Amino acid sequence: MNKRDIGQEILDGVKAIKSGKGKRHIVMLPDAHVIRESMGLSQSAFAAMLGVSPRTLQDWEQGRRKPSGPALSLLKVAAKRPDAIREAIAA
């Protein structure tokens, strides 16, 4: 059984990234502004629907903060299935 040298693996990974040969992952965050506009909602209404403050929504839309956790999940659902969000909130 081979024993892994995690420290060396990390160093090798850092060297690969610095040389431009490392793996890169691009994570696309849902655009709250685009989603809100596509749903035809004001900032206040959309923030209330997501359960966040209008200020938080403004911060997301202006790039000062990024949504995380449950809010990120809700935005992903709203982007793909706005009808599901409307239906769930109305119930």
Taking only the tens place, the pLDDT of each residue in 11-36 is 988 888 888 776 677 767 899 999 99
Residue 11 lies in a domain: no
2 pLDDT exceeds 80?
Answer: no
Residue 48 lies inside a defined structural domain of this protein: yes
User: Residue 7 falls within a domain, yes or no?
Assistant: no
Which residues, including other chains, have CB under 8 Å from residue 56's CB and lie 6 or more apart? 47, 65
Q: What CATH number does residue 37 fall under? A: 1.10.260.40
* HSE of 82, CA atoms in CB hemisphere, 13 A: 12
The answer to whether residue 81 sits within a structural domain is yes
Q: What local confidence, expressed as pLDDT, does residue 45 receive?
A: 95
Tokens of 42: 């004001």
Number of domains in the chain: 1
Quote the pLDDT of residue 52.
95
Candidates 27, 29, 28; CA nearest to 75 is 29
Domain assignment present for residue 41? The answer is yes
Domain that holds residue 55: 32-90
- By three-state DSSP, how is residue 70 classified? helix
Residue 6 in any domain: the answer is no
Per-residue pLDDT tens for 60-77?
999 999 999 999 999 999
